[in-house]
A = this chain, B = another copy of it.
């Protein structure tokens, strides 16, 4: 008994020293993201894992650890696990919800960790060192600008909205502000909750109600898929353009292939998680200044540049 009692603490001590030495050798970046509960978050998981692989290969002194969580509560636990027994040099987080994650992320920051927040902000912006998100106003504005040009500044539109949120409001605001001085007329605008089936039904309603529709804007690609199906089934020839938004690979592929009805796309790319990871690395490895707010633009994806936005192996 005496002997085994004596050995055990020594063994634990050795293990602790070994793991501390390992931690001291490598800078650890934890990436905490929602699990793949729909297409966009599946894209986030794909790009986070790709970034981890690239960065871990490129920088032997850095270890990127990706952890996905199926709920806000699970993400809170994940943060505790990730930071237990070691100091995280940086945390890149796409919070499941602002309210529940704010206090746990603050605890990680208070331990001396660099905090990068992606897409959904925390309730207290002073916690983040770097905040990176897409530009939903630009998604709407750039789509509208393209329609104005292609339709010569006049025509009948129908629009499909998503789930009532700030994201949806901003996309619609960008769109409406851009068309307000033109003769483009929005015949109808209803919610279809970013859902393909609901969008299919709503588009059938629009087709039944309006005999002349020049273009459709579904402010998200899941809805665009439903719209395209309804238009196809109707056999209607008046609809010249049907556009979406987000950068889903099926839609980017259409753009790449020169599709007549969907010749352009606007990104709100899940790959932004990758940009956030690379910027955080630039700070950790190269002391590059990155503190601040980065709003990624939503440039028009065209046949010329579509390749840059196409990830054939991504689920999204």
Interface residues of A (CB under 8 A from B): 47, 50-51, 54, 58-59, 135, 267, 269, 271-272, 274-275, 278-279, 281-283, 285-297, 299, 308-309, 311
Q: In the bound complex, what is the Cα–Cα distance between A54 and B283 (angstroms)?
A: 12
Q: Using CB atoms, name the residue of chain B closest to A285.
A: B54
8 Å CB contact of A288 from B271, B283, B290: B271
Q: Using CB atoms, name the residue of chain B closest to A50.
A: B286
Q: Is the CB of B299 within 8 A of A286?
A: no
8 Å CB contact of A287 from B271, B286, B291: B271
Q: Is the CB of A275 within 8 A of B296?
A: no
Query: Number of copies of this chain in the oligomer?
Result: 2
Q: Which residues of B contact A281 (CB under 8 A)?
A: 278
Q: In the bound complex, what is the Cα–Cα distance between A242 and B274 (angstroms)?
A: 41
Q: Which residues of B contact A269 (CB under 8 A)?
A: 289
9 A-B contacts (beta carbon < 8 Å): A271-B287, A274-B288, A275-B290, A278-B281, A278-B282, A283-B308, A287-B308, A292-B294, A292-B297
Q: Which residues of B contact A267 (CB under 8 A)?
A: 289
Q: Which residues of B contact A291 (CB under 8 A)?
A: 296-297, 299
Q: In the bound complex, what is the Cα–Cα distance between A47 and B288 (angstroms)?
A: 9
8 Å CB contact of A282 from B279, B283, B287, B292: B279
Q: Which residues of B contact A293 (CB under 8 A)?
A: 295, 297
Q: In the bound complex, what is the Cα–Cα distance between A308 and B291 (angstroms)?
A: 11
Taking A292-B294, A296-B292, A297-B291 as contacts, is the C-beta distance between A274 and B278 under 8 angstroms?
no
Nearest Cβ on chain B to A42's Cβ, whole angstroms = 17
Q: Is the CB of A311 within 8 A of B282?
A: no
Interface contacts beyond A58-B58, A271-B287, A272-B289: sample of 9 additional A-B pairs, CB < 8 Å, sorted by A: A50-B286, A135-B292, A274-B289, A275-B289, A278-B278, A278-B282, A290-B296, A292-B296, A292-B297
Taking A275-B279, A279-B279 as contacts, is the C-beta distance between A54 and B296 under 8 angstroms?
no
Q: In the bound complex, what is the Cα–Cα distance between A297 and B289 (angstroms)?
A: 9
Q: In the bound complex, what is the Cα–Cα distance between A283 and B51 (angstroms)?
A: 11
Q: In the bound complex, what is the Cα–Cα distance between A78 and B291 (angstroms)?
A: 32
